[in-house]
């Protein structure tokens, strides 16, 4: 009975995840990538086996996206995902009707394993757990360790603890005074765009000790220093150090697990806007850094974060909003997203230090984090650390890398050595890090866009629909559960 209930398992999307299926498309993927580089070349057949071994134990990832009358929802996906060699640009759109209906993909290239995730599935910390377990199992198979890795005790701790999919937004919702999000326009980055579907990646490798020493001299954390440096670089490079009518604003995702004692693998983060309106052309970097530091201290506070949760969840709880059909919700959510989108200049995401077990550490060289970009969100910065190295990654749809260069030059001025690597002319060295991608002709007269729309409109195939009808008639599906799942209010 318990096994049958697990097979029929479905769940609602968490509070934050609900917006991602609405806004995601070929031009705005809402996909991020976490990758690990090993010291030996990847063996694809072993990686495939490792993925098949761990997936049954990771409830949050073995799902597909379904559309109900009022909301999207997740349903168990019984297919087997296929590992593929990386052959295109990072963070491409994951079509929920393709990719065997999984909302993540695992690829490899040379010594690197890539985990790309649709943001509705989880956030950066959830992806870290998934990739670490995939890497652990892969290395166990490579080294010929015992196959029976998962004991009953392991399953209990993993399923109930690490792989929990509880909606922590609802768990931590409190009736508190709510603050509205700012929708005042911030400065927007402009430039010459790369062709659609392509993107530029630039990694900056920084010594952790050197970066900490600089931050210690300024008396701030690494995130505060990087945020101020990025705002300063935008002002210097794009605004030429002049006063401006619009503020330069960063969108900073904040991991809420530490504030609210949560271990969910579903999304559980809030975003805060950190910025500065440049009016004094003679302002010094140290002054700006102090203002950004105080602003972050004020905003990244549990009380303020509770207000953010309250603002988001309160709308979900209103019955008259819940009964609005999804087709109308899509229009409203898209409008809300556009208002929020114009309120910041770019995103800076720092997931902090990634730690692995000692027996795996000897085989791992480094981790990378990167976030998908689009013409509406053309430039993003992601940061992660492993061992003695911090990796700062810029993803961009601009043909130039002026801002990235200015940013890393500022680090060098402060005494932090930087080594660059990427997939384009902006990188100092490529070292065959990314595959050579052949240029292909795009279908003319909107053919490609039309084909994408057709794929999204198809939904279930006739074979799948017939199978579900058969299951219902055979008593394997409960009509009440089906109606509740598809039409839940």
Give the DSSP letter string of 308-360.
HHHHHHHHHH-HHHHTS-HHHHHHHHHHHHHHHHTT-SEEEEEEEE----HHH
Residue 412 sits in the same domain as residue 472: no
Q: Which residue has the tokens 């997936």?
A: 55
H-type helices in 342-461, by residue range? 358-361, 402-413, 447-458
Q: Is the pLDDT of residue 326 over 90?
A: no
3-state percent helix, strand, coil for the chain, nearest multiple of 5: 40, 20, 40
Q: Who has greater pLDDT, 409 or 320?
A: 409
| 266 neighbors 256 (Cβ within 8 angstroms) | no
Write out the residue range of the structural domain in which residue 489 sits: 459-489
Residue 324 sits in the same domain as residue 226: yes
92-151: per-residue pLDDT in tens?
999 988 899 999 999 999 999 999 999 999 999 999 999 999 999 999 999 998 655 554
| pLDDT of 52 | 97
| 370 neighbors 32 (Cβ within 8 angstroms) | yes
| pLDDT of 456 | 38
Residue 208 sits in the same domain as residue 294: yes
Q: How many CB atoms lie within 10 A of CB 147?
A: 11
How confident is residue 348, by pLDDT bands cut at 50, 70 and 90? Answer: very high
Window from 106-115, 303-312, 337-346, 447-456 with minimum mean pLDDT: 447-456
How confident is residue 299, by pLDDT bands cut at 50, 70 and 90? Answer: very high
Residue 227 sits in the same domain as residue 150: no
> Which pTM does this prediction carry?
0.84
| pLDDT of 9 | 74
Q: Is the pLDDT of residue 395 over 80?
A: yes
| pLDDT of 443 | 31
208 inside domain:
yes
| pLDDT of 19 | 86
| pLDDT of 383 | 98
Q: Which residue has the tokens 């500065």?
A: 276
Q: How many CB atoms lie within 10 A of CB 413?
A: 10
Angle between helices 285-299 and 222-237 (to 10 degrees): 130
Beta strands in 412-457 (DSSP E): 418-422
Q: Who has greater pLDDT, 337 or 282?
A: 282
Q: How many CB atoms lie within 10 A of CB 206?
A: 23
DSSP helix/strand/coil, 15: coil
19-71: per-residue pLDDT in tens?
899 888 888 999 999 999 999 999 999 999 999 999 998 989 999 999 888 88
Residue 382 sits in the same domain as residue 303: yes
Q: For 362, phi and psi rounded to 5 degrees?
A: -65, -20
Q: Please state the separation of Cα 144 from the chain's center in Å.
A: 33
How confident is residue 461, by pLDDT bands cut at 50, 70 and 90? Answer: very low
408 inside domain:
yes
In this structure, the strands spanning 346-353 and 379-386 are parallel
How confident is residue 453, by pLDDT bands cut at 50, 70 and 90? Answer: very low
DSSP code, position 215: H
Residue 162 sits in the same domain as residue 291: no
Q: Who has greater pLDDT, 169 or 105?
A: 105
Phi-psi region of 121 (alpha: psi -120 to 50; beta: other; left: phi over 0): alpha
454 inside domain:
no
pLDDT averaged over every residue in the chain: 84
69 inside domain:
yes
| pLDDT of 112 | 97
Window from 191-195, 314-318, 341-345, 461-465 with minimum mean pLDDT: 461-465
CATH number at residue 375: 3.30.559.30
Residue 29 sits in the same domain as residue 137: yes
List the structure tokens of 448.
């490609």
475-489: per-residue pLDDT in tens?
444 555 555 444 443
Q: Please state the separation of Cα 12 from the chain's center in Å.
A: 19
| pLDDT of 294 | 97
337 inside domain:
yes
- Could you give the percent of the chain with pLDDT greater than 90? 59
| pLDDT of 245 | 95
| 257 neighbors 263 (Cβ within 8 angstroms) | yes
**What's the total number of domains in the chain?**
3
| pLDDT of 109 | 96
431 inside domain:
no
Residue 338 sits in the same domain as residue 222: yes
Please give the span between the terminal C-alpha atoms of the chain, in angstroms, as a whole number.
27
CATH number at residue 21: 3.30.559.10
315 inside domain:
yes
Q: Which residues contact 186 (CB under 8 A, 6 or more apart)?
A: 246, 247, 248, 249, 273, 275, 342, 343, 344, 345
Q: Is the pLDDT of residue 446 over 60?
A: no
Window from 187-191, 372-376, 461-465 with minimum mean pLDDT: 461-465
Residue 103 sits in the same domain as residue 158: yes
Buried-exposed string 209-240: b where 16+ CB fall within 10 A, e elsewhere: ebbeebbeebebbbbbbbbbbbbbbbbbbbee
Q: Please state the separation of Cα 66 from the chain's center in Å.
A: 20
Residue 126 sits in the same domain as residue 23: yes
231 inside domain:
yes
DSSP helix/strand/coil, 261: coil
Residue 165 sits in the same domain as residue 204: no
Residue 272 sits in the same domain as residue 408: yes
| pLDDT of 434 | 85
| pLDDT of 176 | 72
DSSP code, position 218: H
């Amino acid at each position: 009975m318990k096994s049958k209930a697990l097979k029929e398992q479905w769940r609602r999307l968490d509070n934050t995840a609900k917006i991602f299926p609405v806004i995601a498309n070929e031009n705005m993927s809402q996909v991020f990538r976490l990758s690990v580089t090993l010291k030996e070349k990847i063996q694809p057949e072993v990686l495939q086996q490792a993925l098949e071994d761990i997936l049954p134990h990771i409830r949050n990832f073995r799902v597909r996206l379904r559309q109900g009358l009022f909301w999207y929802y997740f349903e168990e996906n019984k297919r087997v995902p296929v590992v593929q060699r990386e052959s295109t640009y990072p963070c491409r759109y994951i079509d929920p009707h393709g990719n065997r209906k999984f909302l993540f993909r695992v690829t490899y290239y040379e010594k690197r394993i890539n985990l790309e995730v649709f943001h509705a599935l989880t956030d950066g910390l959830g992806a870290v757990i998934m990739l670490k377990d995939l890497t652990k199992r892969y290395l166990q198979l490579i080294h010929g360790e015992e196959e029976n890795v998962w004991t009953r005790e392991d399953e209990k701790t993993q399923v109930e603890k690490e792989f929990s999919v509880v909606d922590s937004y609802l768990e931590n919702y409190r009736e508190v005074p709510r603050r509205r999000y700012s929708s005042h326009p911030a400065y927007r980055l402009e430039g010459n765009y790369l062709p659609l579907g392509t993107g530029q990646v630039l990694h900056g490798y920084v010594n952790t000790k050197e970066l900490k020493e600089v931050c210690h001299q300024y008396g701030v954390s690494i995130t505060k220093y990087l945020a101020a440096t990025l705002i300063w670089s935008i002002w210097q490079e794009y605004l030429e150090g002049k006063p401006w009518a619009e503020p330069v604003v960063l969108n900073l995702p904040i991991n809420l697990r530490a504030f609210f004692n949560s271990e969910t693998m579903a999304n559980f983060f809030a975003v805060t806007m950190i910025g500065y309106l440049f009016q004094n052309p003679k302002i010094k970097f140290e002054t700006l850094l102090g203002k950004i530091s105080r602003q972050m201290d004020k905003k990244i506070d549990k009380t303020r974060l509770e207000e953010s949760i309250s603002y988001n969840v309160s709308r979900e709880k209103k019955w008259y909003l819940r009964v609005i059909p999804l087709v109308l919700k899509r229009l409203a959510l898209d409008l809300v997203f556009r208002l929020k989108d114009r309120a910041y200049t770019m995103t800076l995401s720092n997931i902090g230090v990634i730690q692995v077990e000692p027996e795996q550490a000897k085989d791992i060289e480094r981790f990378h984090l990167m976030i998908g970009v689009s013409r509406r969100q053309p430039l993003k910065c992601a940061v992660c650390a492993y061992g003695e190295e911090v990796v700062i990654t810029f993803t961009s749809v601009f043909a130039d890398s002026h801002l990235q260069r200015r940013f890393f030059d500022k680090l060098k001025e402060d005494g932090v050595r930087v080594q660059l690597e990427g997939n384009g002319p902006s990188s100092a060295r490529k070292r065959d890090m990314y595959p050579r991608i052949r240029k292909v002709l795009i279908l003319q007269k909107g053919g490609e866009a039309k084909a994408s729309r057709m794929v999204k409109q198809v939904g279930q195939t006739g074979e799948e629909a017939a199978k579900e009808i058969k299951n219902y008639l055979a008593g394997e599906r409960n009509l009440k559960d089906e109606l509740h799942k598809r039409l839940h209010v």
